[in-house]
Structure 1
């Protein structure tokens, strides 16, 4: 249990931790992923494409090894999960966004945390927007926005950036208005092993 110190004027209570870091020396997997098989993500016009292989990290061992420290830092250090439980990535895929492609608002189900690695992107290749779905009975006018009162939060991707977040957090990607194809790798995370107490126990 965490207690409050008198010096804490504002407490971001029950926050939604989003991990953002630009990693160095990311392996170049672009030649490999360009030749993969892709399909339209949905029937939506300009919704982008994704690989038919939904376990793409299994075919990219160097990238998996590079990504692993970031995943462990988020799950074990930031989120405080016990290291007795292994981190599993049950699915991973590459998103390909051509000119004017974008993704609709969504979240990820059947997992605890989700992540994105930006493999190739331009500054105007599409922003990542997180949205706050907490209901506000009254929504006053704001003089400014910050992490406490925002209903949307924008992250501008760059090559090598790793973003991770709780899977229930809604997000979407704005339109790619660059002339370059944007490649990102998305993945979901789950914990494996035994956790809980006798009345709420699970073994995954």
Structure 2
């Protein structure tokens, strides 16, 4: 199987949650508050894909799996999937909660800290998605690696955005935060072992 076909298959696998969501949308299975369901579903999958992206290097270092696709391409597909789900999340918010009003959106950002944090996270994600290609990596050289380290801040902000949204039921955001902390610890230990 060619590498291009493997990447296409991985991309299709990453799109399964979105396909499932579209099916639920067209078969009226989104529950009593469909907008909230769309927002939560797309937001959750954004965080899942960010955490999956961050897990690739520790998995490679500690378990040395044989990837059917080069590791950097797996990371790229997962990272772009996170961007796609974040874009769905933001689009649902802007279209349905804000009625496509930029003024209302700016007021909402100013008045609700969790919206501001979510917007900051999305703004950080944009340059990471745009510069994810090999061409950008060659152009930016060492700065590419520095830029893409923003995924750590981005993931933390995404989890914080979710925690501030739910307020009372913190089980899921704390689970995300614990996994994020474990991945960061694994990276730190990897760094110490190399020294």
Check whether TM > 0.5: no
* Alignment TM class, shorter chain as reference: under 0.3
Higher helix share: 2
**TM-score normalised by length of structure 1:** 0.25
TM-score normalised by the chain length of structure 2: 0.26
Higher strand share: 1
